[in-house]
């Protein structure tokens, strides 16, 4: 199984190489015998429209607060969705401003082995007696939903054109958001031995015949960081239709989180996002 660290490293390297490649392509001198399509086209008018953006959200490792784990977790990547408004404003024949405001849903999940010497990990026979036992494998699990009102302002550069109505654009820039809310569920599972259950002296909610203790069940995320900052880079393709009145812009972007989800954990949510913008000429 590929770790979340390896996934993020591969995705980051891919996008850096892709952006470097397109800028290098753009920097090449024009071929002999005439100017390029870019030089002959007019400055485009503003386009405004809507965005739909599914995202593959890659969590960084974190420590599970409250579970007494004391160890680094393994992230489980999830799929979310962003919807909102976007625009393209031409600065020149090649350069654009690409503002957008979206409402993002960014789910996440983690799991990690717990220290079997933790006082919370007391087990007994799965019958009605209280024969002491020793836990050999206990896993702490966290699932979370993370909702952000996000704004971004990217700088786009038209790299090349395919005819007069299709452009390839490289873009990068900052994103700033407000975390509207976040809900979290947290539990610990007794994996081994399979004939025992938790003693549960604190009377926590339990499931799976006492082999699962529920620490939080769809609760407000504690110590939530309301400020969201990230850096975004990627490629998009502008396709104009109906004499340039409308524009469809599919794109692939990597969103690198700069802030943590909470103020107590080293926990970030990076995203690989597919944008699909439908815009009309303004």
Classify domain 4-25+48-84+94-113+146-152+160-186+225-281 by CATH architecture: Beta Barrel (2.40)
On whether the CB atoms of residues 149 and 192 are closer than 8 A, the answer is no
In terms of Cβ atoms closer than 10 Å to its own Cβ (0-12, 13-18, 19+), residue 6 is exposed
The per-residue pLDDT for range 73-114, each reduced to its tens digit, is: 676 778 889 999 999 999 998 999 999 999 998 888 878 887
- Computed on alpha carbons and rounded to an integer, the radius of gyration of the chain in Å comes to 25
The per-residue pLDDT for range 30-58, each reduced to its tens digit, is: 444 443 334 445 688 899 999 998 888 77
User: Whole-model pTM above 0.75?
Assistant: no
Mean pLDDT over 240-260 rounds to: 91
If you write DSSP's letter for every residue of 149-207 in order, what string do you get? EEEEEEEEEEEEESSSSEEEEEEEEEEEEEEEEEEEEEEEEEEESTTEEE--TT---EE
Average pLDDT, the chain: 79
* Residue 60: band (very low, low, confident or very high) from pLDDT cuts 50, 70, 90: low
């Amino acid at each position: 199984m590929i770790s979340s660290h390896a996934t993020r490293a591969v995705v980051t390297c891919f996008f850096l190489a892709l952006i470097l490649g397109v800028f290098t392509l753009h920097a090449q001198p024009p071929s002999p015998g005439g100017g390029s399509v870019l030089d002959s086209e007019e400055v485009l008018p503003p386009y405004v429209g809507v965005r739909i953006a599914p995202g593959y959200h890659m969590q960084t490792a974190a420590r599970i607060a409250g579970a007494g784990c004391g160890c680094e977790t393994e992230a489980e990547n999830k799929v979310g969705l962003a919807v909102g408004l976007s625009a393209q404003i031409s600065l020149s024949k090649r350069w654009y401003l690409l503002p957008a405001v979206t409402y993002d849903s960014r789910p996440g999940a983690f799991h990690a082995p717990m220290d079997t010497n933790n006082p919370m990990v007391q087990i007994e026979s799965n019958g009605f007696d209280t024969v002491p036992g020793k836990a050999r494998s206990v896993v702490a699990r966290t699932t979370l939903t993370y909702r952000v009102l996000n704004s971004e302002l990217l700088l786009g550069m038209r790299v090349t054109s395919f005819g007069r109505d299709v452009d390839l654009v490289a873009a990068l820039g900052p994103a700033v958001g407000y975390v509207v809310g976040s809900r979290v569920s947290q539990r610990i599972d007794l994996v081994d031995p399979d004939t025992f259950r938790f003693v549960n002296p604190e009377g926590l909610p339990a499931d799976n015949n006492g082999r699962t203790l529920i620490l939080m069940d769809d609760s407000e995320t504690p110590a939530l960081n309301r400020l969201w900052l990230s850096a975004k880079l990627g490629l998009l393709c502008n396709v104009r239709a109906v004499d340039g009145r409308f524009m469809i812009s599919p794109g692939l972007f990597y969103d690198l989180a700069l802030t943590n989800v909470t103020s107590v954990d080293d926990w970030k949510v990076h995203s690989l996002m597919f944008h699909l913008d439908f815009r009309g000429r303004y």
